[in-house]
Amino acid sequence: MDRVESIKDILDKRELAIAEDDRRAVSKANKALNSTIKSNITKAQEALGEDNEYKEYFLNNSEHIKELLAVNKEVNTTEEAINLIHQVDFRYIFGLDVLIEKPFACEFINNELRVSLAFTTEEKANVEVEKEMEKYHGKETSILGYERFGMYVKELIVRGEPTEAWITYSLTRKKYLYVVGSKNKDNQHSIISFDIFDLYEIFMKCDINKAIQGLCELLGIRIKEFEEVRDRYERCKSFVRNNLTKDKFPILFELIGEHIHKLETILEEGIDKLYYHVESKEGMVFSASMQYLADIMGKGKSTINPIVNIFALLGLLRKPDVRSGIYGKGSNNDITYYYIPEYNNELFQKAEQLAMILLYNGERITASSFSYKNCIEKFGQEIANSIFKDKVTKARAS
DNA sequence: TTTTGGTCCCGCAGAAGGAG
DNA sequence: CTCCTTCTGCGGGACCAAAA
């Protein structure tokens, strides 16, 4: 089945599912459609490479584009921002000098020719595939091979001619689209359609969140829920810089003085991942795995682990309760979500007292030796469970 | 003594595979 | 095709040895 047919197939199935009100089938079709778009985005990214004319145009003309298209508006949610951005004619952003509905050559999605060949033996298959490849000399080909019914099946995918594309505005989907396919009268079809976010992902080689961020910045759209978080993180950063010192909080400094840069890195990571924040019961939270944090700090994850947990104990970051939260469904590990509260004297005073207990009340526990076990000893089961959350999961499972 | 990094373990969730 | 089981990769955390 080639690409055009498979897309048609999915669309037909979805239509049928909608008609029959079969929600499971609808979501299945949507999922298939999304993954098709995603794989096409990846393909297009590979075809265009890191530097391409669209990116260049965008970067060279961003000031001019801003003047021309800026919305300069504050919105409350990402949803609102997305809806606004969909109304922007992206031809001006990426320098697509074409008329609406008028076909032009698409540079980054090619037609594919699929040739299936079946053989009785592996050797024969290899020889014949060689021969077949000769026909497409000079063209990019890839081979899929598998065994079926005792036969050796080889499938050649030959990169064909460039496709046609055109720009359209979809009234039903309420957005501009870059449609790829063919506008030929007797063979009109579309392979895929990209919206402004997909295109941004392709040209700028990034994911959807960065695309939202980039376009918001370009168009002067401020998403209130994110900007508030950014401002708070910035205040936290300067609070740490100005107050987490030997003379203001001596014991706290003794405990985590060595790790201040790690705390700052987490705050910076929060700012960097601003558009990856999700709503939770506690407020806006973001996720970063131990491995990821360790990598950006140039350390091992088992080094970072106790430090992050000590920050959690001190109240410098919170691990929100995932079980009653609305997020995290289907995502990897909920334990890596962090909420960072406003830093102030009161919070640091409390942290100072906790540091006192850790260092000078009974067994001396330093930041890097902090663990579930000694957390229970010093602070009890309840607090330990709120920090080492997977322990709770494990306890429930047994 | 404290910090760091390697390695092991365990649970989870999605994928793959198999049965009906 | 659907449901159930098994497999696998990922990620957090523990422990221990080595480094600073």
For residue range A29-80, list pLDDT tens digits in order. 666 777 777 777 877 877 787 788 899 999 999 899 998 888 899 999 888 9
| pLDDT value for A326 | 35
* Domain stop point among A187, A219, A251: A219
Q: Mean pLDDT across the stretch A131-138? A: 66
- Which of A27-36, A43-52, A86-95, A300-309 is most confident? A86-95
Tell whether A209 and A97 lie within a shared domain: yes
- Is A342 within 8 Å of A232 (Cβ atoms)? yes
pLDDT tens digits for A263-298?
888 888 888 888 888 777 778 888 777 777 887 777
**A368 closest-nt by C1' vs CA:** B3
How many helices (H) and strands (E) would you count in chain A? 18, 10
pLDDT tens digits for A140-157?
566 666 555 566 666 666
| pLDDT value for A305 | 81
Q: How far is the CA of A25 from the C1' of C1 (A)?
A: 13
* Domain stop point among A178, A199, A219: A219
3-class DSSP state of A107: strand
Q: How far is the CA of A340 from the C1' of C15 (A)?
A: 30
Question: Is residue A75 assigned to a domain?
Answer: yes
| pLDDT value for A389 | 67
Separation of alpha carbons A137 and A240, rounded Å: 63
Tell whether A165 and A249 lie within a shared domain: no
Q: How many domains does chain A have?
A: 2
Tell whether A242 and A391 lie within a shared domain: yes
pLDDT above 70 for A135: no
Closest Cα to residue A340, out of A198, A230, A212?
A230
pLDDT above 80 for A193: yes
Separation of alpha carbons A339 and A320, rounded Å: 7
Q: Mean pLDDT across the stretch A162-182? A: 88
Closest Cα to residue A108, out of A183, A194, A23?
A194
Nucleotides of C under 7 A from a protein CB: 10-16
Question: Is residue A36 assigned to a domain?
Answer: no
Question: Is residue A2 assigned to a domain?
Answer: no
Which tokens sit at A27?
A: 């979501």
Question: Do β-strands A73-75 and A175-182 pair in parallel, antiparallel, or remain unpaired?
Answer: unpaired
| Residue with more model confidence, A106 or A176 | A176
Q: Using the CB atom, is residue A303 less than 7 Å from strand B?
A: yes
Residues with Cβ within 8 Å of residue A7, at least 6 apart in sequence: A36, A190, A191, A192
Tell whether A256 and A357 lie within a shared domain: yes
Tell whether A385 and A250 lie within a shared domain: yes
Question: Is residue A258 assigned to a domain?
Answer: yes
Q: Mean pLDDT across the stretch A190-201? A: 88
Question: Is residue A26 assigned to a domain?
Answer: no
Q: Using the CB atom, is residue A232 less than 7 Å from strand C?
A: no
Residues with Cβ within 8 Å of residue A10, at least 6 apart in sequence: A29, A32, A33, A36
pLDDT-derived band of residue A24, with 50, 70 and 90 as boundaries? Answer: low
pLDDT above 90 for A215: yes
Tell whether A182 and A331 lie within a shared domain: no
Q: How far is the CA of A81 from the C1' of B10 (A)?
A: 42
Nucleotides of B under 7 A from a protein CB: 1-7, 10-14
| pLDDT value for A279 | 78
Tell whether A209 and A235 lie within a shared domain: no
**Domain range holding A350?**
222-397
Cα distances from A63 to residues A31, A58, A93, A209, A343, in angstroms, run 37, 9, 11, 22, 36
**pLDDT > 70: percent of chain A:** 72
Which tokens sit at A358?
A: 């850790």
Tell whether A50 and A195 lie within a shared domain: yes
Tell whether A373 and A258 lie within a shared domain: yes
Q: How far is the CA of A251 from the C1' of C6 (A)?
A: 52
Backbone angles phi and psi of A82, in degrees to 5: -60, -45
- Is A195 within 8 Å of A175 (Cβ atoms)? yes
Closest Cα to residue A106, out of A31, A160, A26?
A160
Question: Is residue A17 assigned to a domain?
Answer: no
Question: Is residue A15 assigned to a domain?
Answer: no
Q: Using the CB atom, is residue A328 less than 7 Å from strand C?
A: no
Separation of alpha carbons A254 and A249, rounded Å: 9
| pLDDT value for A82 | 92
| pLDDT value for A6 | 63
| pLDDT value for A89 | 93
Question: Is residue A14 assigned to a domain?
Answer: no
Indicate the DSSP class of residue A342. Answer: P
Q: How far is the CA of A306 from the C1' of B4 (A)?
A: 12
Q: Using the CB atom, is residue A302 less than 7 Å from strand C?
A: yes
pLDDT-derived band of residue A321, with 50, 70 and 90 as boundaries? Answer: low
pLDDT above 90 for A222: yes
3-class DSSP state of A142: strand
3-class DSSP state of A378: helix
Tell whether A230 and A376 lie within a shared domain: yes
CA geometry: angle A388, A391, A392, nearest 5 deg: 100
pLDDT above 60 for A378: yes
Residue holding tokens 């944090």? A293
**A300 closest-nt by C1' vs CA:** B5
Q: Mean pLDDT across the stretch A370-387? A: 78
Q: Which long-range contacts (CB under 8 A, 24 or more apart) does A256-259 make?
A: A256/A307, A256/A310, A256/A311, A256/A314, A256/A355, A256/A367, A258/A367, A259/A307, A259/A310, A259/A367
Tell whether A345 and A198 lie within a shared domain: no
pLDDT above 90 for A257: no
* Domain stop point among A158, A187, A219: A219
Tell whether A67 and A167 lie within a shared domain: yes
Q: Mean pLDDT across the stretch A348-361? A: 85
| pLDDT value for A325 | 37
Residue holding tokens 């992050």? A308
Q: How far is the CA of A302 from the C1' of C5 (A)?
A: 34
